[in-house]
Amino acid sequence: VLEDREMPLTRRETETLFQEQPQTGNQYLEDALLRSYLKTHLPPKVLEEVNQDLERFGNHLLTKIKPLGWECELNPPVFRQYDAWGQRVDHIITCLAWRRMKEIAAEEGLIAEAYERRYSNWSRLHQAVKLYLFSSSSGGFNCPLAMTDGAAKVIESLGIPGSLKNAFDHLTSRDPKKFWTSGQWMTERRGGSDVANGTETVARKQPDGTYRLYGFKWFTSAADSDVTLTLARVVDAEGQVKQGSSGLSLFFLKVRDEEGKLNSIQVQRLKDKLGTRQMATAELWLDGAKAELISAEGRGVAAISNMLNITRIHNVIGAVASMRRMISLSREYARRRVAFGKLLKDHPLHVQTIARMEVQTRGAFLLLMEIVRLLGLVETNMASEQDQLLLRLLIPVAKLYTGKQASAVVIEAMESFGGQGYMEDTGLPVIVRDTLVLSIWEGTTNILSLDVLRSLTKSQGQVMAVFFSTVQKKLELASSTVKLEPAVKQTQDAISSLAQFTQAAGSKGAVTMELAARDFSYTLARIYAGALLIEHAARPDASSTDISAARRWCNQELCPVATELGNSSYEAEEALTDSALVYEG
């Protein structure tokens, strides 16, 4: 007679021996860092209301919104170019769940919240937190929302001119029937980073003062949007256009007219993308699309940068949300999966792997909160000049750094599910694919590193003084917390090395700064996030894990730019060696 454990598995038994699916609950209630951040920073009355709203929203996400997000993944948009009778229709067909997401976005005030400002400077933070919770259940609808927010911001920064008042009301509406989304058409075939040289689209002025646009937009996401902002070169009386950045102007246009017909736009095709497949990204021909000039002529890039800075913040939201989602699933799975006779959660090496991701995510989360806190101050005229400079610097820093972090974290987290992590129908590969785009669109890592340098040049170096003094102030808050001493010391050492680098680089010229741009930006991100973790861990009611997170973050190399300078990596000869290495053979 065989012992129970020696008996071969029957078919019936194997059918019930599935690996258990990780189940997560209300995202808001399960996010300890988010809740402690809000408790620390929000005024009590605001906290009470926001807390209620987020708990309710967390339940809504779990029961209603997440299943809709999955439906969006299963029913990606389809492009129908001709109707049955051979008429060109260029119809992008989206699924019901996608359209429901648009209604939910309005009902939840996912854009409106930031512009109504009922919580004054804290409204931006409230909105960002809702978007952060929404992001990984949104079925890709976070993308149109980013651009809608960006468009509303541009219009607001123009003082909401009369001709755009109606559009602003639609973009910031809570009424699902009224709510509009916007696109952001910048990239053309010749350049997505180098927009100034890549833009071929021209704008011809009409007798009624409007313009007609002619050109080809190579990437247009959320192509089912109602309106868009786009760049073009105005044709002068001699039929000439001005090349370069100063030839670009910003235009607003409606994608369809009152009858639903495309505004002299032809859809060439939908992009066949690695991820974000729930959302339509199209190639568009503009064949006389009617548009309104909304910037001063030749100030298109400066005007659209208000949009870029908002969509880049949304990118940070998406990055932190992806990391948080993957970790939630991973830690939950570790509570259920058994290997080598015990649960994964009881294997110290496995838990160390997840803990390392958690530390990365905490740093990124606090960076996000800092940016939206500053943005809230700017938008309610409560920001100092220093706050404004810091915000300008931190947006590209956070976008480029969290985009890279998120890619690394979601891939590591995928592995924490073993083979299941690689299985399409678990939904995990969707998160991985959708995350990988975060370091490409809205400015690649290198382009944003150069934007960090642009912000330094523009402020004539002032922003670095603000950076140093702000970090220093945060470190001082921890002066009486003994357990944070090592982290404070490491950050202080990193600041000294960074100060030495900036002095040394100043005398070396532009090539050095260009070669150092990425390491320099990483340094700023690591030092600033370190200071934020220390500040959070120095609160009177901080937990021991707050302290551990700060200590562990600061154990990594905080100032890679100084190390590489020491290695002579930024000398002009090194650039020649780079070339030789890349092109040998």
Strands 265-270, 281-293: pairing is antiparallel
- Name which of 235 and 450 has its Cβ closer to ligand UCC: 450
Instruction: List beta partners, residue 282.
Output: 220, 270
Partner interacting with residue 301 (select from ligand UCC, ligand FAD, none; CB below 5-8 Å by kind): ligand UCC
Name the residue with the smallest CB distance to ligand UCC: 318
Rounded Cα–Cα distance for residues 494 and 556 (Å)? 11
Query: Does 447 help bind ligand UCC (rule: CB under 6 A)?
Result: yes
Output the CA angle 410-185-222, nearest 5 degrees. 55
End-to-end CA distance of the chain: 69
Three-class SS state of 116:
helix
- Name which of 388 and 556 has its Cβ closer to ligand UCC: 388
Rounded Cα–Cα distance for residues 383 and 489 (Å)? 30
* Binding residue (CB under 6 A) for ligand FAD from 127, 276, 360, 361: 276
Query: Does 481 help bind ligand UCC (rule: CB under 6 A)?
Result: no
Classify the C-alpha dihedral 390-147-160-116 as positive or negative.
negative
* Binding residue (CB under 6 A) for ligand FAD from 284, 432, 437, 550: 437
Name the DSSP letter for residue 40: H
- Using CB under 6 A as the binding rule, the residues of this chain from 300 to 359 that contact ligand UCC are 301-302, 305, 308-309, 311, 314-315, 318
* Binding residue (CB under 6 A) for ligand FAD from 59, 266, 446, 556: 446
Name the DSSP letter for residue 95: -
- Name which of 370 and 451 has its Cβ closer to ligand UCC: 451
- Name which of 263 and 491 has its Cβ closer to ligand FAD: 263
- Using CB under 6 A as the binding rule, the residues of this chain from 143 to 162 that contact ligand UCC are 143, 146-147
Q: What tokens appear for 482 in the block? A: 């003994």
- Could you tell me which residues come within 8 angstroms of residue 568 by beta carbon, excluding any fewer than 6 positions away? 574
Three-class SS state of 235:
coil
Count of positions on this chain that bind ligand UCC (CB under 6 A): 29
Instruction: List beta partners, residue 202.
Output: 214, 233
Partner interacting with residue 458 (select from ligand UCC, ligand FAD, none; CB below 5-8 Å by kind): ligand UCC
Query: Does 273 help bind ligand FAD (rule: CB under 6 A)?
Result: yes
* Binding residue (CB under 6 A) for ligand FAD from 185, 520, 528, 570: 185
| Shortest Cβ 147–ligand UCC spacing (Å) | 5
Rounded Cα–Cα distance for residues 115 and 171 (Å)? 10
* Binding residue (CB under 6 A) for ligand FAD from 33, 72, 186, 371: 186
Output the CA angle 364-398-367, nearest 5 degrees. 40
Three-class SS state of 29:
helix
155 with 123: CB under 8 angstroms? no
Query: Does 99 help bind ligand FAD (rule: CB under 6 A)?
Result: no
- Determine the longest span between alpha carbons in the chain, in angstroms: 99
* Binding residue (CB under 6 A) for ligand UCC from 101, 128, 155, 195: 195
Query: Does 132 help bind ligand FAD (rule: CB under 6 A)?
Result: no
- Name which of 51 and 305 has its Cβ closer to ligand UCC: 305
67 with 137: CB under 8 angstroms? no
Ramachandran sector of residue 381 (left: φ over 0; alpha: ψ -120 to 50; beta: rest): left
- Name which of 94 and 184 has its Cβ closer to ligand UCC: 184
| Shortest Cβ 405–ligand FAD spacing (Å) | 17
- Name which of 69 and 530 has its Cβ closer to ligand UCC: 69
- Name which of 283 and 346 has its Cβ closer to ligand UCC: 283
- Name which of 457 and 579 has its Cβ closer to ligand UCC: 457
Partner interacting with residue 276 (select from ligand FAD, ligand UCC, none; CB below 5-8 Å by kind): ligand FAD
| Shortest Cβ 199–ligand UCC spacing (Å) | 9
Query: Does 141 help bind ligand FAD (rule: CB under 6 A)?
Result: no
Three-class SS state of 81:
strand
Segment interacting with ligand UCC, rule: CB under 6 A, options 340-348, 450-458, 485-493, 560-568: 450-458
* Binding residue (CB under 6 A) for ligand UCC from 121, 123, 142, 523: 142
Strands 227-234, 182-185: pairing is parallel
Alpha helices in 270-347, H assignment, sequence order: 300-334
Partner interacting with residue 142 (select from ligand UCC, ligand FAD, none; CB below 5-8 Å by kind): ligand UCC
| Shortest Cβ 201–ligand FAD spacing (Å) | 11
Output the CA angle 575-567-465, nearest 5 degrees. 90
Query: Does 224 help bind ligand UCC (rule: CB under 6 A)?
Result: no
CB count within 10 Å of CB 410 equals 27
Partner interacting with residue 520 (select from ligand FAD, ligand UCC, none; CB below 5-8 Å by kind): none
Output the CA angle 28-33-39, nearest 5 degrees. 80
227 membership: H or E segment, kind and range: strand 227-234
B/e letters for 314-337, b = 16+ CB within 10 Å, e = fewer, are bbbbbbbbbbbbbbbbbbbbbeeb
Partner interacting with residue 191 (select from ligand FAD, ligand UCC, none; CB below 5-8 Å by kind): ligand FAD
| Shortest Cβ 281–ligand FAD spacing (Å) | 5
- Using CB under 6 A as the binding rule, the residues of this chain from 208 to 267 that contact ligand FAD are 219-221
Rounded Cα–Cα distance for residues 179 and 175 (Å)? 6
Amino acid identity, position 144: P
Rounded Cα–Cα distance for residues 317 and 492 (Å)? 28
Segment interacting with ligand UCC, rule: CB under 6 A, options 85-93, 99-107, 160-168, 181-189: 181-189
Interacting residues with ligand UCC (CB under 6 A): 142-143, 146-147, 184, 186-187, 192-193, 195-196, 221, 245, 301-302, 305, 308-309, 311, 314-315, 318, 441-443, 447, 451, 454, 458
Interacting residues with ligand FAD (CB under 6 A): 183-187, 191-194, 219-221, 273, 276, 281, 437, 440-441, 443-444, 446-447
